[in-house]
Each structure stands twice: as C-alpha cells, then as structure tokens.
Structure 1
C-alpha cells in the first residue's frame, strides 16, 4: 500500500501534524490520518474499549474539510 499526501493542518505549529493521506488500495478506498494521540482518560473512557491493533487520534476540522474538498474534486485515491 502506498500513501498520497492530501494535506497538512495549516494551523499546526510545527507543520507536521495532523495530516491526511489517501491510499492506493484496490480492494477498498481508505485514508490514513496522522493526528494527536488521545491520552485523556476521560475521553478514552467515553470511547470505550479500543482493540490493541487500533488507536484513537484527534484531528481538527480542517483535516475533515480537506477530505471533503478531495472528494468534491473527484479524486480517485
């Protein structure tokens, strides 16, 4: 699987995260999201059990808006 950069959070102080990537998977359309790892105990308690092979990350709405813009442009990946 390869990843294609869609965009980075323009408000990020270090310009490295959060970031949105599209993948080139052929069996299903997927995206990779780089974000801030959630460590807040209250938030994690609200979410519930997280499988060992998964994690919860926090991303700003700007990243979700990048996805919508990507979708509206008709991008395949």
Structure 2
C-alpha cells in the first residue's frame, strides 16, 4: 500500500467499502477508552484531513 495514513476506496460492485492504512494506536489511555479489540483487528489512527478529503470527494461525486 502507499504512504500512511491513507484511506483506499475499493472497487466493489456489490457495495462501497474502504481500506484504512494508518499507524497502530499504542497509547494505553486511548486503548482503554476504546475497550477490548477483537483478535485479528487493530485500532489505527486516521488524521482528520484524510477524512475531510474523502468527504469532499464523496460530496463532489454526488453532485452536491
């Protein structure tokens, strides 16, 4: 995958999904706030600017 952090849109015909790549959260307080993380999953951090970029893209694609 490319540079981190990143949010990738998948090219699925049955539903729209995203793949998140980011830095694994290791801060004990943050992990405590989130609670138990199931096996096979990780908590990652995605900066607000990445989410704003995708929100803007979605808004433009919707024609709004």
Residue of structure 1 aligned with 2:13, choices 14, 23, 26: 26
Change in 2 beyond 3 A, CA 1:26/1:53: farther
Distance (whole Å) between structure 2 residues aligned to residue 27 and residue 56 of structure 1: 26
Residue 65 (structure 1) aligns with: 52
Q: Which structure 2 segments of 5+ residues have no match?
A: none
Distance (whole Å) between structure 2 residues aligned to residue 66 and residue 37 of structure 1: 21
* Segments of 4+ moved more than 6 angstroms: none
Q: How far did 1:61 drift?
A: 0.6
What CA RMSD, in Å, does the superposition of the two structures yield over aligned residues?
1.7
Q: Tell me which protein shows more helix as a share of its residues.
A: 2
